[in-house]
Amino acid sequence: MSRIYKNWPVHNLIGHPVSELAYWAVRPFSKSTAKRIKKRIHDSTMPKKYIKVKRVKKEHGKLPRIDTESDSSSAAAHDAISRYFNR
């Protein structure tokens, strides 16, 4: 089910406009509630992989830079990220 609505086209074409409409509909009553509703709608349409990256960036400040020419495999990328967070 998440493949139907948790992908970039749905996020960009539906999630952004609907979250903006919800924000402006609730905004006259409460700015903080409007922001919370907008964020919930926006984030509910984001692909799961991006949400995980966003959470890691929030917890650790930034992600390590991976040299894609020398570290082309996903195992090498995983090792680079592990080294970064375990130092």
- Alpha-carbon distance of 54 to 48, in angstroms, equals 10
Residues 52 and 75 in one domain: yes
Helix (H) or strand (E) holding 74: helix 74-85
- Alpha-carbon distance of 5 to 69, in angstroms, equals 33
**What Rg, from alpha-carbon coordinates, does the chain have?**
17
21 is in which domain, residue-wise? 1-46
Look at the chain and report how many structural domains it folds into: 2
pTM over 0.75: no
pLDDT in tens, 40-83: 998 888 877 665 555 556 666 665 555 555 545 566 666 666 66
Contact indicator for 34, 26 with CB cutoff of 8 Å: yes
Q: In the structure encoding, which two tokens stand for residue 53, read together?
A: 């990256």
- Alpha-carbon distance of 54 to 40, in angstroms, equals 15
Residues 40 and 11 in one domain: yes
